Amino acid sequence: MFETVYGAFIIMLMRMCDVSIGTMRTILIVQGKKYLAGMAGFFEVLIWVFAIRFIFQHLDNYANLFGYALGFGLGNILGIALEHKIGFGYIQLNIISKHFTDQIAGKLRRSKYGVTILLGEGGTGGVSIIVVITARKYQKKVIHLIESVDKDAFITV
């Protein structure tokens, strides 16, 4: 019984690793980082081959199949969570504030973020749109700065 559960657990861990690496690899490909993507792909497939090899050696153990499937699902969650922590890439925030455009822009600029203000036309008249492009890992920090000035600001990412 212990060996059955242990094998399924090991397969689950291997799948969590290879799927998480696969998530990172996909992002690296999109960003054009071919060498890092290639290295990630090597480890992704190596882990997968070991997992599938173990399953084929123990096809009579259904727990391994559930471990494989559970590892895949958890690997997706883990991969996305890791990517959010690392924060590859850039984001664009568009901010509309009814009364605090200049204060928000000033606070962001003092915090060393690049800010562009565009004029726009809303349903009730003219509006200013603050545009900020920054590394995605700073998204929460920038939103916190904006909301410290105007908690009702309309923010899109």
Please tell me the predicted confidence (pLDDT) of residue 59.
82
Three-state DSSP at 143 gives: helix
What is the Cα–Cα distance from 70 to 63, expressed in whole angstroms? 10
Determine phi and psi for 124, rounding to 5 degrees: -110, 10
131 — pLDDT class (breaks 50, 70, 90)? very high
Residue 2 in this model has a pLDDT that exceeds 80:
no
Instruction: Give me the helix-helix angle, 34-57 and 62-86, nearest 10°.
Output: 160
pTM: 0.66
Q: Give residue-wise pLDDT tens across range 79-89.
A: 988 887 887 77
Please tell me the predicted confidence (pLDDT) of residue 136.
85
Average pLDDT, the chain: 92
Residues of the chain above pLDDT 70, percent: 99
Tokens 């999109």, located at residue: 30
